[in-house]
């Protein structure tokens, strides 16, 4: 194994780099004016609801220290909820309360928080501690997702969420992010969560990668990733594809969770989705992005295709040819 | 026009403008392009002294002509109580001091600073028409001189082939102590210079000649008397000649004061006049020379340069002008290497602080303040404070740490640590805050990576900024900033891989199964 790979080899595999992503895709297809819609999770929620896209229910929110008391009153009777910074990034500042232990709030990790801890956390969020650029932020409390038991064994202490890259409305690449003990129950790949590449055509797993190396089984639950197949796959692709119309962003990362009660839900949207998805898929994303660009340039009708048509097209062209054997 | 094309055109324009201005400044205005170029500046002082006898005084001193191989940096005249003006008589510039009445010994000064320019030939053709004024040896008392000169000229004619060799032979004969004719003539010219004799002898042979007065530029000479050389009109041009050795051409370091027959100094209303010279050499950086030269010529570009600021502000600007290079370094590291830093341009500020504190001291102080600050911040986080209040508290703590470091190090006689005051406190406080959040959120590893990354970029920027060439160029050629701007714009177009990605995706082939 070489210490590093030659850049032309990366180019041959169609790997998209950070600079290329920023200049050729984000700067070109993501209009600045659309950013607030995805950076502000409250706005995302509103826009998605309006478009008939399922999202976790909003329970309470506040954007001023005066509102903290009201917020505390609203969460007092709740057994479980998720508290988030409205403009947070990378899952920072999110608290998942699983149950109550008298006055105490029990987190998914099993640690407890007092009401004062929560107040302090809320005030930190409001001061902009977790927001981009440290700007003053707002807090929202939403319903906790009960993730589907079919995926239960693939995640430890946290919700496994599905990331789908949607390029100009076409779902081009997907991966499942599974929390591990070492990632602290968060589905953040930098912290040791597992990324599982998902075949666009079938929803079956491709590779499971933890901290850059391939693994076969979940280190905590021992489940074999090769058996993984995402349920409700078509619905998820459809949901992701529709986010293009909602946001108007050409290069978009959709985070989807599968809820036991409501089915697939959009958890959040990301205007600057990461690049690790390529590793979990074992292939570069560039050929697919170029494919879509060429299609839209040559076939003007394709620009007006609905979400369903786009999903069909993506499944046909971006699936793995040997997916049948892999499953 | 696409954005990409615009960037290329804009960068090209900026680069051309920046480089063009730089070339203009270094070639035309003489700003040295490389640091450490020195020029020797000769300060020559001519002192005219005489005894005034109570009448109106008029002193006229011949001023040096412009010469091709030397440039005059500045000149000044002084003479208390005297009116002063310059005049040009027969193509010769003269300084004229005047006064209604003066008594006793008087001194007048003319000072000039010159340096050698390397781009011109030492000798300059003199545009002076040759004219011959034959000496008069017709009187009976001068019979011996007339015969001696005729004999001498005949001998020289015999031994020579052309005008040049004739002049040199004549010179050789006159310098021969055994030659009786020469002895007679030298005796007759007692009290006058040998050059005058030569001029007269050459005139008898219909060759125009005149004395040249000047001084040898040698360091720390006082009471120098002007030296005389001979200039003869030979084969259609003026040739300079050493009257004793016969060597042709201007001797090295000979500064010509005056050519042609006019007098060096004329004094009316005084007696015992004398001119003496003193010379001092100074090694001055070529930049200063260019600056002074520029000031004399009042070049518009210099008028708007940093040099028009007072010295104090200039030194502040010296630092500010280095910021673009630091920013360039940050871009290089982030775009090409992919190093994560805490805060985009925080490393530049850190590097600026290092410039003041020296590198090792700076790094130690930074890490010390960071470590102590993180410790205190972790306690503050338990106190349930608002973010702004907490950061303000961290700022105050940072100030206390800095004060403590200063005082303690002073007591321990570690003077270097006193430079801690140069660290930007607010930046340090924010860094502490962000690091502590990062530590809690992403673990110690990520926090250390970012601190190390910031330090690495800061140190790289520091070395860039302390580089002699970079320092020299950024201060003397601020227009090179336009080139940096062009480079930054171009780098903003780079969509290739980062070094970190070559590592991150190195196993991509193995995941393709």
User: Which of A194-208, B305-319, B453-467 has the weakest average pLDDT?
Assistant: B305-319
Instruction: Give the strands of the sheet with A213-215, arranged side by side.
Output: A213-215, A205-210, A194-198, A170-178, A161-167, A251-259, A263-270
Select the residue of B388, B498, B506 nearest A19 (Cβ to Cβ): B498
Give alpha helix (H) positions in A76-173. Answer: 115-127
pLDDT score of A83: 93
> Which of B387, B391, B492, B494 to substitute to test the interface with A, most A CBs within 10 Å?
B387
**3-state SS, residue A299:** coil
Which CATH number describes the domain made up of A58-142? 3.30.1490
Helix (H) / strand (E) element for A254: namely strand A251-259
Give alpha helix (H) positions in A157-306. Answer: 233-247, 277-281, 286-298
pLDDT tops 60 at residue B10 = yes
Confidence bin at B159 (pLDDT 50/70/90): confident
pLDDT score of A57: 92
pLDDT score of B261: 62
pLDDT tops 70 at residue B107 = yes
Higher pLDDT, B219 or B493: B493
Contacts of B471 (CB under 8 A, 6+ apart): B35, B318, B322, B465
Confidence bin at A326 (pLDDT 50/70/90): very low
- Which pTM was predicted? 0.65
Asked if B388's CB is within 8 angstroms of A282's CB, the reply is: no
Cβ–Cβ under 8 Å, residues B63 and B95: yes
Higher pLDDT, A175 or B287: A175
Q: Which residue has the tokens 């007759």?
A: B188
Q: Which residues of chain A are within 8 Å of residue B495 when distances are taken between CB atoms?
A: 17, 19-20, 22-24
pLDDT tops 60 at residue A6 = yes
* Alpha-carbon dihedral B158, B164, B165, B167, rounded to 10 degrees: 70
Confidence bin at B125 (pLDDT 50/70/90): low
Helix (H) / strand (E) element for A176: namely strand A170-178
Confidence bin at A325 (pLDDT 50/70/90): very low
pLDDT tops 90 at residue B485 = yes
Smallest CA–CA distance, residue B479 to chain A, in Å, is 29
Select the residue of A17, A24, A65 nearest B497 (Cβ to Cβ): A17
Q: How far apart are CA A202 and CA B478, in angstroms?
A: 61
Q: How far apart are CA B77 and CA B79, in angstroms?
A: 7
pLDDT tops 50 at residue A323 = no
Contacts of A68 (CB under 8 A, 6+ apart): A62, A119, A122, A123, A126
pLDDT score of B26: 80
pLDDT tops 50 at residue B316 = yes
Q: How far apart are CA B473 and CA B31, in angstroms?
A: 10
Contacts of A252 (CB under 8 A, 6+ apart): A30, A38, A165, A166, A167, A243, A244, A269, A270, A271, A273
Q: Report in angstroms the alpha-carbon separations of B122 from B8, B71, B117, B252, B431.
A: 47, 12, 9, 9, 63
Task: State the sign of the Cα–Cα–Cα–Cα dihedral A24, A28, A32, A36.
Answer: negative
Looking at chain B, which residue has its C-alpha nearest residue A19? B495
Give one DSSP letter per residue of B194-239, joined into a string: HHHHHHHHHHHTT--EEEEEEEE--TTEEEEPPEEEEEEEETTEEE
pLDDT tops 60 at residue B124 = no
Confirm or reject contact between A319 and chain B (CB < 8 A).
no
Instruction: Characterize the bridge pairing of strands B270-285 and B221-224.
Output: antiparallel
Cβ–Cβ under 8 Å, residues B51 and B270: yes
Among chain B, residues having any CB pair with chain A shorter than 8 Å are 335, 338, 384, 386-388, 437, 441-443, 446, 493-499, 501-513
Asked if A2's CB is within 8 angstroms of B501's CB, the reply is: no
Asked if B496's CB is within 8 angstroms of A5's CB, the reply is: no
Three-state SS annotation for B326-354:
HHHHHHHHHHHHCCCCCCCCHHHHHHHHH
Asked if A214's CB is within 8 angstroms of B498's CB, the reply is: no
pLDDT score of B121: 55
Confirm or reject contact between A129 and chain B (CB < 8 A).
yes
pLDDT tops 60 at residue A9 = yes
Asked if A4's CB is within 8 angstroms of B508's CB, the reply is: no
Q: Which residues of chain B are within 8 Å of residue A131 when distances are taken between CB atoms?
A: none
Give per-residue pLDDT as tens, B244-269. 777 777 777 788 887 766 778 888 88
Select the residue of A18, A127, A190 nearest B388 (Cβ to Cβ): A127
In degrees, to the nearest 5, what angle opens at C-alpha A17 toward C-alphas A12 and B336? 110
Select the residue of A15, A116, A124 nearest B508 (Cβ to Cβ): A15
Average the pLDDT over B60-87 and give the result.
79
ipTM of the complex: 0.77
Smallest CA–CA distance, residue A261 to chain B, in Å, is 31
Q: Which residues of chain B are within 8 Å of residue A214 when distances are taken between CB atoms?
A: 507, 510-511
Helix (H) / strand (E) element for B277: namely strand B270-285
pLDDT score of A173: 95
Select the residue of B442, B505, B512 nearest A5 (Cβ to Cβ): B505
- Where in chain A are the domains? 14-52+148-326, 58-142
Q: How far apart are CA A120 and CA B68, in angstroms?
A: 80
Taking alpha carbons only, the member of A143, A147, A144, A142 closest to residue A178 is A147
Confidence bin at B92 (pLDDT 50/70/90): confident
Ramachandran angles phi, psi of A94, nearest 5°: -85, 135
Give the up-direction half-sphere exposure of residue B486: CA atoms within 13 A in the CB hemisphere: 17
Taking alpha carbons only, the member of A56, A55, A272, A92 closest to residue A191 is A92
Give per-residue pLDDT as tens, B331-368. 999 889 988 887 778 888 888 888 887 888 889 888 98
Give A14-52+148-326's CATH code, choosing from 3.30.70.1290, 3.30.1700.10, 3.30.470.20, 3.40.50.2300: 3.30.470.20
Q: Which residue has the tokens 């006058």?
A: B192
């Amino acid at each position: 194994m070489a210490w590093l790979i030659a850049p032309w080899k990366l180019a041959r595999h169609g790997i998209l780099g950070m600079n290329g992503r920023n200049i050729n895709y984000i700067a070109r297809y993501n209009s600045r004016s659309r950013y607030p819609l995805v950076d502000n999770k409250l706005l995302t929620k509103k826009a998605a609801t309006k478009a008939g896209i399922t999202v976790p229910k909003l329970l309470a929110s506040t954007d001023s220290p005066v509102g903290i008391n009201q917020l505390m009153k609203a969460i007092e009777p709740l057994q479980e909820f998720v508290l988030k910074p409205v403009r947070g990034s990378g899952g920072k500042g999110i608290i998942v309360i699983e149950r109550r232990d008298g006055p105490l709030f029990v987190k998914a990790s099993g640690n407890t928080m007092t009401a004062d801890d929560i107040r302090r956390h809320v005030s930190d969020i409001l001061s902009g501690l977790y927001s981009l650029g440290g700007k003053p932020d707002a807090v929202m409390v939403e319903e906790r997702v009960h993730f589907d038991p079919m995926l239960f064994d693939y995640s430890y202490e946290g919700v496994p969420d599905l990331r789908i890259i949607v390029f100009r409305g076409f779902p081009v690449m997907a991966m499942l992010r599974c929390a591990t003990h070492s990632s602290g129950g968060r589905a953040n790949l930098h912290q040791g969560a597992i990324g599982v590449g998902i075949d666009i055509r079938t929803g079956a797993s491709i590779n499971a990668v933890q901290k850059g190396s391939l693994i076969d089984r979940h280190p905590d639950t021992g489940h074999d990733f090769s058996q993984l197949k995402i349920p409700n796959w078509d619905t998820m692709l459809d949901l992701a594809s529709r986010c293009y119309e909602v946001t108007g962003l050409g290069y978009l990362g959709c985070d989807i969770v599968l809820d036991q009660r409501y089915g697939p839900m959009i958890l959040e949207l990301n205007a600057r989705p990461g690049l690790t998805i390529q590793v979990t898929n074992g292939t570069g994303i560039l050929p697919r992005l170029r494919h879509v660009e060429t299609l839209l340039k040559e076939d003007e009708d394709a620009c007006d295709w609905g979400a369903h048509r786009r999903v069909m097209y993506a499944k046909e062209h971006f699936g793995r040819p040997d997916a049948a054997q892999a499953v | 026009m696409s954005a990409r094309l615009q960037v290329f055109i804009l960068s090209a324009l900026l680069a051309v403008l920046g480089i063009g201005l730089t070339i203009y400044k270094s070639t035309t205005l003489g700003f040295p392009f490389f640091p450490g170029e020195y020029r020797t500046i000769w300060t020559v002082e001519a002192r005219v002294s005489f005894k005034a006898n109570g009448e109106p005084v008029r002193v006229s001193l011949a001023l040096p002509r412009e010469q091709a191989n030397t440039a005059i940096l500045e000149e000044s005249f002084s003479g208390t109580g005297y009116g002063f003006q310059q005049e040009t008589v027969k193509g010769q510039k003269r300084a004229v001091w005047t006064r209604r009445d003066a008594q006793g010994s008087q001194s007048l000064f003319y000072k000039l600073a010159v340096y050698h320019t390397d781009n011109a030939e030492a000798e300059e053709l003199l545009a002076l028409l040759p004219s011959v004024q034959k000496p008069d040896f017709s009187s009976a008392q001068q019979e011996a001189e007339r015969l001696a000169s005729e004999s001498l000229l005949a001998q020289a004619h015999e031994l020579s082939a052309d005008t040049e060799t004739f002049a040199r032979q004549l010179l050789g004969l006159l310098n021969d102590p055994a030659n009786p004719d020469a002895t007679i003539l030298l005796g007759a010219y007692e009290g006058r210079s040998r050059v005058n004799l030569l001029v007269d002898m050459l005139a008898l042979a219909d060759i125009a000649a005149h004395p040249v007065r000047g001084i040898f530029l040698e360091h720390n000479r006082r009471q120098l008397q002007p030296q005389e050389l001979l200039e003869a009109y030979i084969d259609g041009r003026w040739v300079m000649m050493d009257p004793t050795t016969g060597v042709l051409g201007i001797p090295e370091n000979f500064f010509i004061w005056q050519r042609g027959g006019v007098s060096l100094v004329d004094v009316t209303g005084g007696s015992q006049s004398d001119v003496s010279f003193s010379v001092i050499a100074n090694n001055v950086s070529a930049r200063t020379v260019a600056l002074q030269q520029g000031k004399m010529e009042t070049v518009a570009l210099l008028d708007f340069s940093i040099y028009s600021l007072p010295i104090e502000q200039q030194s502040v600007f010296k630092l500010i002008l280095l910021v673009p290079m630091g920013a360039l370094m940050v871009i290089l590291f982030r775009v090409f290497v992919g190093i994560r830093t805490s805060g985009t341009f925080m490393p530049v500020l850190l590097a600026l602080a290092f410039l003041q504190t020296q590198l090792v001291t700076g790094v130690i102080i930074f890490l010390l303040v960071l470590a102590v600050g993180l410790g205190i911040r972790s306690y503050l986080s338990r106190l349930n404070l608002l973010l702004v209040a907490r950061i303000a508290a961290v700022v105050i703590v940072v100030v206390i740490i800095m004060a403590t470091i200063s005082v303690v190090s002073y007591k321990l006689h570690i003077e270097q640590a006193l430079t801690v005051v140069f660290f930007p406190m607010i930046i340090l406080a924010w860094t502490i805050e962000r690091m502590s959040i990062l530590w809690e959120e992403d673990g110690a590893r990520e926090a250390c990576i970012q601190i190390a990354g910031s330090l690495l970029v800061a140190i790289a920027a520091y070395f860039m900024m302390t580089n002699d060439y970079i320092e020299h160029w950024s201060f003397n050629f601020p227009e090179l900033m336009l080139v940096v701007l062009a480079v930054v714009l171009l780098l903003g177009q780079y969509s290739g891989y980062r070094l970190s990605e070559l590592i991150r995706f190195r196993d991509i082939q193995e995941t393709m199964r």
